[in-house]
Amino acid sequence: MTNNKKVNKKDIGKLLSQWSQEFAVFVPSIESGVATMARWEGKDTSFLDWYRNTVIPPKANFLPPMEEMFSFRKDREGYNIELPPNGGKQLIFGIRPCDARALAIIDANFKDLYQDPYYLPRRSSAVLIGVGCTNPYDSCFCTSLGISPAESADVDLMLTDIGDEFLVEEVTDKGKKLTAKTSGLKEATKDDETRAKEIKETSYNKVTRKINAEGIVDKLLASFDDQDYWEKVAAKCISCGICTLLCPTCYCFDINDELVRQQGARFRSWDSCAFPLYTKMPMENPRQEKWRRVRQKVCHKFGFFPMNLNIIACTGCGRCIRLCPVNWDITQVLESVPVREAKPQIH
C-alpha cells in the first residue's frame, strides 16, 4: 500500500467528465494549429498522445490576453461603475511543471503588497493537475532552474505516465480533497511508484539544454552598463512581443479605456517590455533603444525579479527560443554575459 493513487489512461475521460460537473475543465487542445489550454469538449483524450506543451501558456487562463476590468455608464447622476461577473472555477488538466512553477512566479507578483482582484481569485479557485513531461523539447532547460520535467510542487495533483496508467500523487490538500470525491482511482502499488521514479529520472536526463543560474543576479548587475555587450546581444532582435507575451512567467499588462456613446469599459491586456511604447512618456523614453529593452527583459527576469522575490522569473519552458522568428536564444545570451567583478548589491 502507498499513499498514491493511479488511474488507467482509458479512464481519464471519465475523470474529466466527473470534474466537469464542478469545474470548467481545460485540457491541451489544438485550435487552428495552435496548441492551447481549451475547454474540454467532453470526449477526446487523444491529447495524451500528441501533447508536449502548449504554445499559449496556461497563464492565459488566469491572466487572459485581454479582459474587461470594469465597465462604466454615464447617466444624469454621473458615472456608474460595474464589475464584470466572476468566472467559474477552472480545472487545468495536463499543465507541465514548468508552467505550474510559472504560475507560482506570477502569483508572487500579483500578491506582492497589493492583491490583484482579477488574477488571484481565479488562481485560488482553480485546480491544477500536472502531467509529467516525458518528452521535453530541445529548447527546454527547466532543470537548470530547479524544475524537474515530471515533478512539481506547484500543482494540486501530479500525474506520471507509467505505461497504461498514470500514477496520481496528491500534492496539496486541494488535490487530496479532489481525489476524495473522485471515483475511478485505484490504489497505487510500490511497483508503480518505483516505475514512476524511474520515469521521472529519465525525463530529467532528457533535458540537455543548460544554463548556469548560479550567481546570475550578480553577473548581470556587473554587466548592466556594458552597452557594447547588450548591443551585440540585441542586434538581431526584432522587438516583437512573442518571447514575452508567450512567456509563462511574464505578467506585464497595459490598461486602456474605450468609450462608445456614454458607455465604456476599461480593459487590461498583455503588454511587453520589448515594445518601445511600453515605457514611452510624452517627453522622453528611457528605453527607446533596442538594447535597453533587451537588457531590461533579461535583467528583469534573471536579476531584478529574484532580487525582490527570491525566484528567477524563468522556468526554462523554452517557448521564447522555439517561437522566436530570429532564433534569439536566452540560454546563449546568459552564457555569454561577460564575467566581471560584481558591483555591490543594492536594495
Binders in 22-81 for other proteins, by CB under 8 A: 31-34, 52, 55-56, 65-66, 69-70, 72, 74, 78-79, 81
CB of 75 to other proteins, least distance (A): 11
Binders in 324-343 for other proteins, by CB under 8 A: 325-329, 331-332
Residue 204 or 224 having the CB closest to other proteins: 224
- Per DSSP, which regions of the chain are E strands? 5-8, 24-31, 34-39, 66-75, 78-82, 90-95, 127-131, 157-161, 165-170, 186-187, 253-260, 263-270
Q: Which of 1, 180, 339, 346 contacts other proteins by CB under 8 A? A: 346
Sheet holding 66-75, edge to edge: 78-82, 66-75, 263-270, 253-260
Binders in 130-189 for other proteins, by CB under 8 A: 137-139
Dist. CA 91–CA 98, nearest whole Å: 17
Residue 54 or 152 having the CB closest to other proteins: 54
Cβ contact 265:71 at 8 Å = yes
CB of 347 to other proteins, least distance (A): 7
Residue 13 or 264 having the CB closest to other proteins: 264
Instruction: Show the binding pattern over residues 89-118: x = contacts other proteins (CB under 8 A), - = does not.
Output: --------------------xx-xxxxxxx
Residue 93 or 291 having the CB closest to other proteins: 291
Name residue, grid cell 485550435: 31
Dist. CA 21–CA 74, nearest whole Å: 39
**Taking CB under 8 A as the rule, does residue 122 contact other proteins?**
no
Vertex 313, ends 308 and 318: CA angle to 5°? 170
Q: Which of 48, 246, 317, 334 contacts other proteins by CB under 8 A? A: 246
Binders in 302-321 for other proteins, by CB under 8 A: 303-304, 307-308, 321
For the chain, what is the radius of gyration of the CA atoms? 22
State the alpha helices, DSSP H only, in 77-215. 97-111, 119-125, 173-180, 190-206
Binders in 267-296 for other proteins, by CB under 8 A: 267-273, 275, 277-284, 286, 290, 292, 296
Residue 56 or 188 having the CB closest to other proteins: 56
Binders in 189-228 for other proteins, by CB under 8 A: 221, 224-225, 227
b/e burial code for range 18-27 (CB count within 10 A of at least 16 → b):
bbeeebbbbb
CA–chain centroid gap for 221, Å, is 25
CB of 31 to other proteins, least distance (A): 7
40 phi/psi in degrees, rounded to 5: -70, 130
**Taking CB under 8 A as the rule, does residue 245 contact other proteins?**
yes
